[in-house]
Amino acid sequence: MDAAATARFGREDRTILGLISTGHFMSHFYFLTLPPLFPYLTEAFGVGYTELGLMMTLTYAASALAQVPVGFLVDRIGARIVLTIGLVLLALGFGLVGLAPTFAVVLGLTVIAGFGHSVFHPADYAILNASIRPERIGRAFSVHTFAGHLGSAVAPAAMIALAAAFGWRTALVVAGAFGLIVMFALATQWNSLRDDALPHPKKRDAAVARDAVANGRAPSGISLLFSKAMILFFLFFATLSMTSTGMQAFSVSALVTLHDMPVTTASAALTAYLFCSAAGILVGGEIADRTKRHDIVAGAVFVVTAVFSLLLVWFDLPFVPLVLLMVIMGLGQGIIRPARDMMLRAAAPKGSAGKVFGFVSMGISVGSAVAPIPFGWLLDTGRSEWVFYLIAIFMTVALVTVVVPKEIHPRARGNAA
């Protein structure tokens, strides 16, 4: 391939990655459009925060439950149309809340938005997996993940500013309209996007048959999702999600209670952790493209995180060492994400990226939903040190999921780098 062709292909990569990452940005942005507006919603609809909490629970539940069916749909009809439909549902669901007359209508709209949100991981990863050159795929995964984190960071400030300037209803309508614009931009670039689907039944069946002959009856469909490899990956994603939830939501309270630390100090340490976690995602993308041993990268991060979690319990650290420790932990948690995605990519048979990423992404939702209960109970019962012990336990479980051998798909093994 000559230099000009290489440059053109590079531009195509950037275009594809920009489109998919923008969609991922919007998916995270939308899930944090309503929480900053809760004071307006309580007044407008005469509801309390319990009802608003129920609204968010229903939204997350709808997204989690739809992940696997959407994954199968991506592998059957292709990711592009599924992604476009999902973004439309997400934009309309949250945008029309600005026009909702009653809270019952709000609940229905946010459930629709939750279904729309479910498409992004199965569809995005199927497109990236098939559209980005293998030598750049780790960096592509990292940029995609970073874009989602950026959407979460931008949403609260943007929605508060829009609500202050134009009112909360207009703020939501504007946010919804922006999502539709992004959808139209994506639709105009369909020819640039490829995915891992095998949409024609005859072609799909022939490919599966060739796979079975060449690779010893590789599992497919539901049997693939309940194979040992996929169960381990589900647990892997869930424990990472539990760790993130514990650190983000409960570490400040645990540090304050455990070491009688000022809230400002504990909050500053958490802020350093969060910023470095985002930066670590981009660093992790570079690492992922330069090594085939993603399991070693993951295992090292798990060990460091577990050990440092114990140090937070055992030592009342001064400010600078505390922040440094949290910086290293945050970097590690960011670095692990592209490595995680690369390992899963290597285990996904041809034509199964949608269902595989949908299934393990459900583990993220399960982990996020389950983790607050034990962490909150530990703080309520005066066992604040166990917040960090539990994080260390989760990292140990995650380490086990990495070191236990998996039936890696032979075709994908060579593409793991």
Question: Are 7-192 and 212-410 the same fold in CATH?
Answer: yes
Q: For the chain, what are the domain ranges?
A: 7-192, 212-410
Please tell me the pTM assigned to this model: 0.74
Give the pLDDT of the chain (417 residues) as one tens digit per residue.
Answer: 334 433 334 666 777 788 888 888 888 888 878 888 888 988 899 888 888 878 887 888 888 888 888 888 887 887 788 888 898 999 999 999 999 999 999 999 999 998 998 888 888 878 887 777 777 788 888 888 888 888 877 888 888 889 999 999 999 999 999 889 888 877 777 666 666 554 444 454 455 445 443 444 455 567 777 778 888 888 888 888 888 888 877 888 888 888 888 888 888 888 888 888 888 888 888 888 787 778 888 888 889 889 999 999 999 888 899 999 999 998 888 888 888 778 777 777 776 777 787 788 788 878 877 787 888 888 888 888 998 999 999 999 888 888 775 554 444 333 433
- Up-side HSE of residue 45: CA atoms within 13 Å toward CB? 25
Domain 212-410 has CATH 3.40.30.10: no
| Superfamily designation of domain 7-192 | MFS general substrate transporter like domains (1.20.1250.20)
Predicted confidence at residue 100, as pLDDT, reads: 93
Cα 341 from Cα 283, distance rounded (Å) = 14
Buried residues in 388-402 as b, exposed as e (16+ CB within 10 A)? bbbbbbbbebbbebb
Q: Cβ of 383: how many Cβ atoms within 10 Å?
A: 15
Please list, in sequence order, all residues whose beta carbon lies within 8 angstroms of the beta carbon of residue 250, skipping any fewer than 6 positions away.
372, 375, 376, 379, 387
- Up-side HSE of residue 34: CA atoms within 13 Å toward CB? 26
Q: Cβ of 371: how many Cβ atoms within 10 Å?
A: 24
Residue 29's identity, in one-letter code, is: F
